[in-house]
A and B are shown apart, each in its own frame.
Chain A
Amino acid sequence: MFSRAYKAAITLPPLLWVVAFLLMPYALLFCYSFWSVSPSQTIVHAWTLDNYRELFRVNVYLQTLFRSMWIAARVMIFSLLLGYPLAYFLSFYAGVRKDLFYQLVIIPLWVSYLVRAYAWKTILGSDGVLNTLLQYVHLTKHPLEFLLYSPFAVVLTLTHIYTPFAFLPIYASLEHIPRNLVEASHDLGASPLQTFWRVVFPLSIPGVLAGATFAFVLSFGDFLAPLLLGGPSGIMISNIVVSLFGAAYNWPLGAAISFCMLLLVLALLLLSEKLEKKWSFR
């Protein structure tokens, strides 16, 4: 129905732009990881594997990488624990107020990330709202130190930020379940709990996988929360990358680490996709 000229006109501009500003940059990232930096702070375009060797040699890089994955894993688990029952409640029990509740969930999602992270910083500090509150009601005598500048603070903040992200695909997949399946299950003698485990949950797995993937991947690559709230024990891999592009000035090494992150993320996305397809029954 559409002429070749039309198709060319709608395809070429975005294609060219994407090649120029997405494909090439990512390719450049790849290239940079094989280059090195000279003492005079210029980039030497000589191909070498040094950066990758450095990455595996120096402990701190791998340690931070695993710590980041562990933090991301915890954020993923907590986001799912918070988000799934919420989505289930909205989808099956909220009735006419479903819409309103949905809006209430997505509003924090679009409110500035910085604002929310900052808010937690003011709450968790030793002079912060939570500590002074606890002392005010005499639950504690001294400020709790672990609240801020710790992995705890990072996990808490990231869970707060990414729970709505986990919620959305779960809610969508629950909404897609035809209600007559729930009725059929009841009709055949299954109680609501049995119906949940045998029918609803299996059919919501693609949504759970999507939500888990988002929460994990986005937490893994986060650099703001650890910077604001992580302290020395809460540093994540992205912070290392940022410093390598800043004060530590070693772009190629930073690129190498970034590229590894990129590969890891892509691998997870692919895995998630495969699993989702397996559990999708459309």
Chain B
Amino acid sequence: MELPMSAEHSNSRWLPWHAIGVFGFLYLPIVTLIVYSFNGAGVGGFPPRNLTLDWYRMLFADDAIWESVLNSLVVAFAAMAISLAFGIPAALALDRANFPGKTLFRRLVLLPLILPGIITGLSLLMLFREADVKLSLLTIVLGHGTALISVATTEVFAGLQKMDRAQEEASLDLGANYWQTFWRITIPNLRLSIIGAALLIFTLSMDEIAVSFFLIGRDNTLPLEIWGRLRRGITPEINAISSIIFVFSLIAIVGWYRLRMGSEAVPEIVTEVVKAA
């Protein structure tokens, strides 16, 4: 509902300008990054000149980067699998089961989302140390999977609140047992939430640094590969890969949003965390 015209005071005329300013602030760095990925003279310097695709060419020839991309993809899919496999039951458990320690469980599941990533990363590092597990992509998968369970849980939990409970009751009434009802009715109804969660988990995993930092073995994920190069010096090649990452993130998040729009209002992950906490 918009305020009627007569209420749009001179008081609030600055609001649209503020909004433009904030959007500018949010997008300026990204736009700059993309523009300079085509800059012949490299990163920095104004104005940009010598527009070239050289950096992109260099990027595509860079094997180490693509190896890390592959690693990241593998990790992301595996993390997705773990997060969903444990996050979906967790959401169901929070919704319909009562057990001692339920509150602790709920808070614990949501903790990695709000806690600074390094604390979770460190803690897992210590676990693997004590258990004498060597650091590798596997440990990263376990780290991501654990940290991102909360994403799956909150999305699926929200989806459960919107679901028509009577459908499950009808299924049981018609003779299907719990297992059948789960696969035939519950999961299909949660389809949108699950896909949304999967998309989000994937995106977050691809970008994850804090936890990965401590659990990395010999194989790098993409963010850590970029990070390593940054320590050695800035090259516009990094701009190029960053621009590509931006485009993919854009597609992923817009896709996620459209998906959720299909099912009514958008539940923000962040506020759900707050409400559930």
Q: Which A residues have a C-beta under 8 Å from some C-beta of B?
A: 1-3, 5-7, 9-11, 13-15, 17-18, 21-26, 28-29, 32, 43, 82-83, 85-86, 88-90, 92-93, 95, 99, 101-116, 118-123, 125, 127-129, 132-133, 136, 160, 163-165, 168-169, 171-173, 179, 182, 186, 191-193, 207, 210, 213-214, 217-218, 220-224, 228, 238, 241-242, 245, 251, 254-255, 258, 261-262, 265, 269, 273, 276
Contact = CB atoms under 8 A, between A and B. Distances in A.
Contact of A221 (B45, B97, B117): B117
Nearest to A280: B275
A7 B97 contact: yes
Given A17-B149, A99-B261, A265-B119, 19 more contacts: A1-B96, A1-B169, A3-B178, A11-B93, A13-B85, A15-B93, A18-B105, A22-B112, A25-B124, A83-B22, A93-B12, A111-B246, A122-B32, A168-B271, A213-B114, A221-B115, A241-B118, A251-B126, A262-B115
A11 to B, nearest CB: 4
A43 B129 CA distance: 10
Contact of A110 (B36, B93, B203, B226): B203
A233 B194 CA distance: 44
Contacts of A1: 96, 168-169, 172
Interface in B209-254: 209-210, 213-214, 223, 226-227, 230, 234, 238-239, 242, 245-246, 249-250, 252-254
B178 A115 contact: no
A131 B265 CA distance: 43
A133 B230 CA distance: 23
Contact of B86 (A3, A13, A109, A273): A13
A101 B15 CA distance: 14
B25 to A, nearest CB: 7
A122 B19 contact: no
B65 interface: no
Nearest to B269: A168
3 closest A-B pairs by beta carbon, nearest first, are: A221-B116, A25-B123, A119-B29
Q: Most chain-A Cβ atoms within 10 A of its Cβ — which of B45, B124, B130, B271? A: B271
A136 B45 CA distance: 9
B91 to A, nearest CB: 9
Contact of A22 (B108, B168, B178, B245): B108
Interface of B: 1-3, 7-9, 11-12, 15-16, 18-19, 22-23, 25-30, 32-33, 36, 43-47, 85-87, 89-90, 92-93, 96-97, 99, 105, 108-109, 111-112, 114-120, 122-127, 129-130, 142, 146, 149, 168-169, 172, 178, 200, 203-204, 206-207, 209-210, 213-214, 223, 226-227, 230, 234, 238-239, 242, 245-246, 249-250, 252-254, 257, 261, 266, 268, 270-271, 274, 277
5 contacts: A108-B26, A118-B234, A169-B271, A245-B122, A245-B125
A164 B26 contact: yes
Contact of A123 (B29, B146, B242): B29
B246 A21 contact: no
B33 A122 contact: yes
Nearest to B117: A221
A23 B108 contact: yes
A9 B239 CA distance: 48
Nearest to A25: B123
A9 B269 CA distance: 26
A33 B138 CA distance: 26
Binding site secondary structure of chain B: helix
A276 B90 CA distance: 25
B119 A115 contact: no
A213 B1 CA distance: 29
A114 B15 contact: no
B9 to A, nearest CB: 5
A29 B44 contact: no
B178 A218 contact: no
Contact of B46 (A17, A28, A133): A133
Contacts of A11: 89, 93, 97, 99
A127 B44 contact: yes
A235 to B, nearest CB: 14
Given A14-B149, A18-B109, A220-B116, A89 B19 contact: yes
Contacts of A179: 1
Contacts of A86: 18-19, 22
A115 B65 CA distance: 15
Contacts of B18: 85-86, 89
